[in-house]
Every structure is written in C-alpha cells, then in structure tokens.
Amino acid sequence: MRLIRQTGSCQRHRVPAPGCIANMRVAVVLLVVASAVAVHGQDCVITVPPNPLTAEGLATPYTMTGCDQAADTASFAEASIYDPATQTISVYHPLVINAGTQPAAPPVVPSLPANAIVGIWFGSNGDTLTLTGPGLANGNCVNGLPDSLFGQVAYCNAVAFFQAARNVQNVTPLGTGLDEQPCPSTRDFAIVDMDQSDNVDTTYLLTASGQVAQNTAANRRDLPGAKVISNGSDNGLVEYIAGVLQCALFVGNVLEDPGATSPSLALDEIQAARFQQAPVALVPDNDAMVVVNGQPNLQKRNLYRAGVFQDPNASGSPTDYCRNLANIAPTRFQDHFQRFFTTVASPDPATGNQLFNFMCARFQGAFEAAGLDCAGLLGIPSPITVSVDANGVATGCSISAVQV
C-alpha cells in the first residue's frame, strides 16, 4: 500500500532510526510472461538490460519510461545474492533511471561469489510496473499473467533464488521488542496492510537535476544536497518499527557500499518464513495484486507467492485473513503500539501526524471497502478508526478490540 513516500537528506540508515528515515519448496511453474504483457496505457515501463543476473548486468542501469524518478512515481530495483559456498546472502541495489538520462554517478560493478544465485525484485510508487527489454528471458522475469499485471511489483529469478537459499544459515531470529512482544515481520497481522510483500528496501540518491545514483557512502560524499528517495512499503515500516522497538533485522553485506549492511525483500521474507509464529499472514486471494478483473485467480496468486517465498498450498481465504487482522492488530495497537509509537515521528506525515496515528489510518484503509473489504466479509465496522484534520491527516485514533 502506497502510504509511505520517504524523502530526505539524511544518510541512509541500514537499520532505520526513528525520525530518519522455513524451509519450503515453491512448487509453482514459473511463467516467464513479462515480455507478453502489453505496455500500452501502463504507468512505469522498465527495460531490463541483457544478462541481468551477472555482475555486468546488475551494474547496467535499468531505463524507465512512463514514470519519473524525480517525482512520486519512482521505481526501484533490489538484488539479493546467495553464495552456496558460505550459505550467506548479500545485497546489491541496481539503478533505475529515466530513459534518456545518465546516472548521477556510475553504478558500482559488484564482485559476485562463484556460482552465485541472483534474484532481483522491483517496486514502484507508480500505479503499475511492466518489465520489457532484452534481459527478460534469461533473467526469468515475471510481472504477472500475460493479460494481468501484478501492479507495482515484479521479479526476476526469484524462484531459483529461494530454492537455493531456503537453507541459508544464521538467519536472525525475530526476538522480543521493548514492548515485550515478538518483533514484527512482514507476515505479522499487526503489520500487514491491504497488499503485503509488495515493495523493496532500496533507496536512491536524487540530485537537483533529476539524476539518481546508488545510495553509497562515496556518493553521499560526492553528491552533497542529494536527497534520499525510497519505495514506501511494509518492508520499510517493519524496519522503522524495528528501530523503535530495538529489534534486530536480518541483513546482508551491501556489495556496492563496502562496510554497509542492509535488509532486503528476500531477507525479510526468509526471516518471516523461518520465525513468524502462527497465524502467519500470506498474500490472500483478494489482494489487488493477485486478482484478475476483480476476481480471485489461483494461478496469479501462486505466481505472486512464488516471488516472495510463500507457500502456494496455504489457504488464501480472504475471510480468514480478515478475521486474523481483526483479532490481532487492534489488541496489539491498544495494548502495546499506543504506548511506544505516539511520540515517534510518522513515516508519512501526510497520512498520520505521528507513527501510531499513521498505523491506525493504514489499518482502517486496509480493513474497509477500498482495501480488503474486511468490514463486508466479517459484517463488522473497522475496529480501528481515525479522526482527521482539514488536510485529511490522521490526528486521533479510536480502537475497539474485537474477537470474531
């Protein structure tokens, strides 16, 4: 859900600070369909370079048309790299630039381990994202069914990556936060919204001229005044909350920025698959990213789940998903989040005036008809409602915990 649009001039926090910002085998047939999706009328169209899973391909900028990296429709790429020799995962952030422009600084060519398995994920702040170009086939790239895009996400070689990395070593446990509750994950019903697992952790540097660069220490030094842009996300929110609750993230070494570490979509999903306790939030059948013409579609749902390391055989019942959302989130908000989040800066001041009210507004949006329509499915009003100011910013939150 596009509620977070973070920009700023502060240095990137690999574990964000407040105010600055499983073993499973996916048995789904991988459909390489991106090249078949019509791009007419879509928003963001990203050209995948040749050989995208190689070091040279990763360092070749993806070019984008239809959207603007200098506006609210920026798109982002993120790679996770599995080293079978050490059973570890590193992270690299390929660059997406507007077609016809040059990077503000050349991307770093990563040094990949021998026999590395690379997965690449994309997230967009635009309405839809279509992959095209010469790297689609050998990159095993997917952005939906031939006639139905996921929406704001896509991936390349994710299934092979997760099959190889399913037994990765030393996955950071979720642990316990300051609120004495399990730390949040991307599959926690207290965290998810109407379209979970749909974003990447990548940030870029945006210069005054509209050019972008990788967000590295060297580029921050050489591009003074550049601001940080990001893909507003559940992932980013989990990491923001982790900073507040002093929770540990599962991170990998950043190949373009020596000495830095970062989470990633893949690392978040692996950690959640390994440690999230039941009930586990998995993409439901009524998620807008997986429906076709507004109707559930099992093939599309499982294609999406394959890209985010989720069990295709697990239930996708919207009613069950909504029931867990109603039973878990309001109680956690009331008993724990309210105590810790009301004095924390909002990740999106246009949605909520502080973190707690932001979370409340986000929940209400997911619960009501414009989101998952849990109110209609369960026959109850949203147990969390917000009051807003003249600009529509949530400034208060009312909670009525329920069990349905």
Q: Is the pLDDT of residue 216 over 50?
A: yes
Cα–Cα–Cα angle for 388, 2, 48, rounded to 5 degrees: 165
Q: Where are the domains of the chain?
A: 7-307, 318-399
* End-to-end CA, the chain: 25
Q: Is the pLDDT of residue 23 over 70?
A: no
Q: Is the pLDDT of residue 225 over 60?
A: yes
- Where b means 16+ CB within 10 Å and e means fewer, 124-149 reads bbbebbbbbbebbebbbbbbbbeebb
**Residue with token string 């908000």:** 333
DSSP-derived secondary structure for 234-285 = HHHHHHHHHHHHTPPP--EEBTTSTT-EE--HHHHHHHHHHHPPSSPP---T
Q: Is the pLDDT of residue 8 over 80?
A: no
The residue-averaged pLDDT of 218-244 equals 95
- What whole-number distance in Å separates Cα of residue 186 and Cα of residue 200? 12
The string of pLDDT tens digits covering residues 286-325 is: 999 999 999 999 999 999 999 999 999 999 999 999 999 9
Of 290, 316, 318, 312, residue with least CA distance to 149: 290
**Would you state the pLDDT for residue 2?**
41
Q: Give 234 or 58, the one with higher predicted confidence.
A: 58
Tokens of 394: 């949530």
**Would you state the pLDDT for residue 11?**
35
- What whole-number distance in Å separates Cα of residue 296 and Cα of residue 256? 40
Task: Tell me the percentage of the chain whose pLDDT exceeds 70.
Answer: 90
Q: Position 111: which residue type?
A: S
- What whole-number distance in Å separates Cα of residue 94 and Cα of residue 7? 19
**Would you state the pLDDT for residue 26?**
30
- pTM score above 0.85: yes
C-alpha 74, offset from chain centre: 14
The string of pLDDT tens digits covering residues 363-376 is: 999 999 999 999 99
Alpha helices (runs of H) in 25-64, residue ranges in sequence order: 55-58
- Whole-number Cα distances in Å, 158 to 10, 140, 174, 375, 401: 31, 8, 23, 34, 38
Q: Is the pLDDT of residue 28 over 80?
A: no
- What whole-number distance in Å separates Cα of residue 127 and Cα of residue 160? 28
Q: Position 375: which residue type?
A: A
Q: Is 290 within 8 Å of 196 (Cβ atoms)?
A: no
**Residue 16 confidence class, pLDDT cut points 50, 70, 90:** very low
**Residue 22 confidence class, pLDDT cut points 50, 70, 90:** very low
Residue 321 has a CB neighbour count (10 Å cut-off) of 25
Q: Is the pLDDT of residue 201 over 90?
A: yes
Indicate the average pLDDT of the chain.
91
